[in-house]
Structure 1
Amino acid sequence: MITTVDHVQLAAPPGSEDRLRSFYVDALGMTETPKPPALAARGGCWFQAGTVQLHLGVEEDFRPSRKAHPGLRVTGIAEYAGRLESHGVPIVWDDDLPDHDRFYARDPVGNRLEFLEPRV
């Protein structure tokens, strides 16, 4: 029986770790978590906010996810969108999901991320 999602992995090109750290830590407010030594040798970064974990793994023939994406639930979505914009991250609002406010953004290597908040 599946009980929860442990993490979501996204791909990134070699050498992009500093740009990823700047985005996921500074813009999104996540914390970088250390990778086990055997995995750290492969490159990439791991990030966490509460119980949400995103792993960015290095892929030699990298292509960003244009459609596939993690959906990240946030609180105070308008303020959160403003936070991203203040870090120079373009956002695109979308009102197609009933009873939710949501927007999309891309990380610095082009991966698509969805941010959403249920309307109360």
Structure 2
Amino acid sequence: MSNENLPEFAFGGLHHVQLAIPPGAEDLCRQFWGDVMGMTELEKPPVLAARGGCWFRGGGLEVHLGVEQDFGPARKAHPGILVRDLRALAERLEECDHEVTWDDDFPGHDRFYAFDKLGNRLEFLEPKSAS
């Protein structure tokens, strides 16, 4: 493959992931993303705050939760979130009554799936230690 047609731009990582929530579900999001996951709620810009929803940040990750009138939880589509100390996160989720489903089918990583309080699927993964 030739380098002559490479674009001038470069990707720098994700700024945030967005998940849909139903109208009025902000408090459930605060319970999950704030209380359970330990993320900090961000103040949304006023023009965006008027639309509802909420934003959270923790460990370099931002999760934006946006109101969708005809909400249906994402049961297949999901963010894949890298975690340091995956087992500790799994224990935290289980302590807070969130089921964790381990899956060893992703080469080089430990991972599990869980769902937020609204039924959105989430994948958490950590590279396996080099032994």
TM-score (norm 1): 0.96
- Residue 70 of structure 1 is matched in structure 2 by 79
- Residue 21 of structure 1 is matched in structure 2 by 30
Secondary structure, in 3 states, of the residue corresponding to 2:33? helix
Larger Rg: 2
Q: Are 1:53 and 2:45 matched, yes or no?
A: no
Q: 1:70 to 1:26 in 2, by over 3 A?
A: same
Tell me by how many angstroms 1:76 deviates.
1.1
Secondary structure, in 3 states, of the residue corresponding to 2:91? helix
Matched positions, count: 120
More strand per residue: 1
Tell me by how many angstroms 1:64 deviates.
0.7
Tell me by how many angstroms 1:50 deviates.
2.3
Q: Are 1:38 and 2:38 matched, yes or no?
A: no
- Residue 96 of structure 2 is matched in structure 1 by 87
Higher relative contact order (CA 8 A, sep 6+): 1
Structure 1 unaligned spans of 5+: none
Secondary structure, in 3 states, of the residue corresponding to 1:9? strand
Identity %: 58
Q: Distance in 2 between matches of 1:3 and 1:80?
A: 26
- Residue 6 of structure 1 is matched in structure 2 by 15
Structure 2 unaligned spans of 5+: 1-8
- Residue 118 of structure 2 is matched in structure 1 by 109
Q: Distance in 1 between matches of 2:38 and 2:114?
A: 15
Structure 2 letter corresponding to 1:31: T
Tell me by how many angstroms 1:51 deviates.
1.7
TM-score (norm 2): 0.89
